[in-house]
Structure 1
Amino acid sequence: MRGLVDTVNGFMLRLDTALRAMRSFTGNASHQLRTPLAVVRTQLALAVRAGDLPAARAAAQAGDAALAEAERILAQLLLLARVDAAGGAPLPDAPLDLVALARDLTAEKVPAAAEAGIDLGFAGAGPVLLRAEPVLMGELLRNLLDNALTYAGRGAEVTVRVLATPEGGAVLAVEDDGPGIAPARRAALRGRFVRGGAEGEHPAGMGLGLAIVEEIATLFGGSLSLEDAAPDAPRRGLVVRVAFPPVG
């Protein structure tokens, strides 16, 4: 009887987690998708009323860009819902080599970095193991890299580092020599829907990058920290570190 009670309680807990994730997703989606979908509708109306082909083409291109933004927002919201729903899941049995994962994903981002005028590199010798789900860890690093490539600025250097701690844990760090983030803003930027960039700027994105990173890290026992890369330099840069416990 005790086993049956535990099974039912576990099922109800998972069901409650899934329902909360679904409610959060639908609320966030309805809010975040409103603007790009309104832009699509407006541009379609302009295309219909356009007096010549170039004007119609320009409206169609603007609508297509807004639709691409809606797709990107939806992908991040789906990832966030997946992280929310995974809160009670057990850790994977097989350890993950963080060096191999980070090296491959860094190489994947090199073309985008080159297009942005950023020198992207990797440093780390493996294996460095942690107990985590590979797909979610990949999304964690992609979000860190996307943030660095968005905010570091043309001419910056971005380095992904993987280190093993003396206790057997793992540290993933993404370091840049860009403008950095003022210490007073760092706590706020870890929340959902808070975007980076200098005061008064309105950068692209929806402000989920660091929130996703921290929530995925927490799932696997990790912790997130943000520090100046070079505190005394004119461009102090930023180091975002995610530290994970030893593989037990």
Structure 2
Amino acid sequence: MHDVVRAGAGRRPSLRRRLLLLLLLPMLILLTIDAVVTYGVALNYSNRVHDADLADDVRTLAQMFRSGEVSGDLPAEARFLIEYDPDSHNYYTVRSRRRGLLSGNGTFPEPPAPALGAAPELFYSRLSGRTLRAASLSLRAPNDPGDVLTVTIAETLHDRQRRAREILLLAVPLQTILILGALSLMWLGINRGLRILQPLTDRLAAREQELEPITGEDVPVEILPLTRTIDGLFERLRAMLSLQERFIADAAHQLRTPLAGLRLHVDRARAATDPATVRDALDHIDQLTGRTARTCTQLLALTRAQNPRSECAAHVPVDLARQIPQAVGQRVPEAIRAGIDLGYQGPGGPVYVQGDATALQELLDNLIDNTLRYAGRGARATVSLLPLPDGGVLLQVEDTGPGVPAGMLQRLGERFFRAPDAPSGGTGLGLAIVQQIARQHGAQVTFASAPAGGLRISLHFPPPAKS
């Protein structure tokens, strides 16, 4: 078991290893490039040194012809000095403009003879598939002033390349040691640099249930995105916990009275011997059970509306001109039983808003439910929909009921607020749910007195955002 745990831990990603590997790869590439450049510089230096020696050799041979020491073919000693090469072979030719080739140990293509008195001319040539580097010099023939001799000495490139490789083999180990030393210093620097995270780690380890932000002055700039993301998570957790605590408090507040009433009427029914008293107690129990169920439903609806995730839900086009008549039609039987004339006014074509269809249905249900519950018998209630010139949408619910006193209009939408003369049975949560859902959709809710004396609730949906 311990071996498995250690193996799993070994596979964990390491920031130190990752940083070192990210630095190691560029270092290896740099070492490769440096080796190529070093070889190129060494080869160029070797070529310059050998070219200078080759030019000196051809000047020396030309001087031998000028001084008269040589008139035709070279002596064996001179030929040996020119041709000698422990690893390869050197070549020479002596040509006369009038008599042709006078002496030489190889025939290779040569450029036109350089001018008299000019410096040795260096060029590349080939012989038997091998590349040669040659130097050529022209001088007047000592025995025939009208003739011109061209002296050429050529050598293979083997020695030049060998010298360049020797320089490279001397340079690369030193450069490798320097790079390894640099990586070691980087490893130490990374280890010391990561210690800056220790205060943050200690601060988090000392916490128990705190969800306060962790981003402080000691947080490095490089991990600010991480700490800010954690702070955002903490903020969402705080909101969820606050929502949970509020739900528990609301449930305890709202259910205490009906549950106490249920207990009272249960005891009353048990103690009663009169059937009429038992039926009355059961009627009260039925009413309290319905009130409790409605309170639970409203509390859950308010909690869903207050959930931070609901604000992040993707909104899609919703046709209110189709959804509102359906919602009104479903509540007509209930309105008839309540003695309320419920109707709808709106355009014949579609009217779209960006939103969540389920949440908007919850909003409509609570608006209609508020009207049916408080407008009173004989009242008239109208749900109207009006597209606005700016692209927004106006949704209104207006009734001819008793209305709400002007001083209390601004409190509508508060949780558990009910007007003092409101009929019993409500929870005071319906308009709070409407407020919360409207806020999620960017809509503005307005409460006002209707011209006929009732209540008018207006929701102004903003025009769709331009992409």
Unaligned runs of 5+ in 1: none
Matched, 1:210 2:427: no
Partners in 2 of 1:116 and 1:97 — Cα distance? 29
Q: Does 1:242 align with 2:464?
A: no
SS of the residue aligned with 1:205? coil
In 1, Cα distance between equivalents of 2:391 and 2:252: 43
Q: 1:129 touches 1:247 (CA, 8 Å); kept in 2?
A: no
CA 1:229 to 1:202, structure 2 compared with 1: closer, same or farther past 3 Å?
closer
Asked whether the 8 Å contact 2:396–2:458 carries over to 1, the reply is: yes
- CA shift, 1:5, in A, is 5.1
> Is 1:222 matched with 2:222?
no
Please say if residues 374 and 423 of structure 2, whose CA atoms lie closer than 8 Å, have aligned partners that are also in contact. no
Change beyond 3 A, Cα 1:168–1:119: same
SS at match of 1:95: strand
- How is 1:182-201 mapped onto 2 (pairs within 5 angstroms)? 182-196=405-419, 199-200=420-421
- Alignment partners' CA distance in 2, 1:59 and 1:181: 33
CA contact (8 A) 1:25 1:77 kept: yes
Structure of larger gyration radius: 2
Instruction: Report the counterpart of residue 166 of structure 1 in structure 2.
Output: 389
Q: Look up the SS of the partner of 1:175 in the other structure.
A: strand
Counterpart Cα distance in 2 of 1:104 and 1:3: 47
For residues 61-80 of structure 1, the aligned pairs below 5 Å read 61-80=283-302
**Match for 1:28 among 233, 247, 250?**
250
1:80-120: CA deviations, max 9, x gaps? 11112136632424211112111111011101111111111
TM-score by length of 1: 0.89
Question: Which residue identity does 2:397 align to in structure 1?
Answer: V
Alignment of 1:1-248 (within 5 A): 8-86=230-308, 89-125=311-347, 126-196=349-419, 199-200=420-421, 203-230=424-451, 235-248=452-465
8 Å CA contact 1:195–1:203 kept in 2: the answer is no
Whether the 8 Å contact between 2:409 and 2:448 is mirrored in structure 1 is no
Query: Alpha-carbon deviations, 1:178-212, whole Å to 9, x = none?
Result: 2222321101223111113xx55553312122222
Closer, same or farther: CA 153–53 of 1 in aligned 2, 3 Å: closer
Q: Between the two structures, name the one with larger relative contact order (CA 8 Å, sep ≥ 6).
A: 1
> How far off is 1:52 after superposition?
3.9
Q: 1:98 to 1:193 in 2, by over 3 A?
A: same
Separation (CA, whole Å) in 2 of partners of 1:243 and 1:202: 28
One-letter code aligned to 1:191: E
Offset, 1:76 = 0.6
Paired residues of 2:340 and 2:380 also in contact (CA < 8 A): yes
Cα distance in 1, alignment partners of residues 351 and 412 from structure 2: 29
The gaps in structure 2 that reach 5 residues or longer are: 1-222
The answer to whether the 8 Å contact 1:87/1:219 transfers is: no
Percent sequence identity is 38
> SS in structure 2 opposite 1:41?
helix
SS, match of residue 344 in structure 2: strand
**C-alpha distance in structure 2 between counterparts of 1:31 and 1:223, whole Å:** 29
* CA separation of 1:107 and 1:178: change in aligned 2, threshold 3 A: same
* Alpha-carbon distance in 1 for matches of 2:358, 2:294: 17
Over 3 Å counting, the alpha-carbon distance change for 1:47 and 1:88 in structure 2 is closer
More displaced stretch, 46-55 vs 186-195: 46-55
Amino acid at match of 1:223: Q
How far did 1:77 drift? 0.8
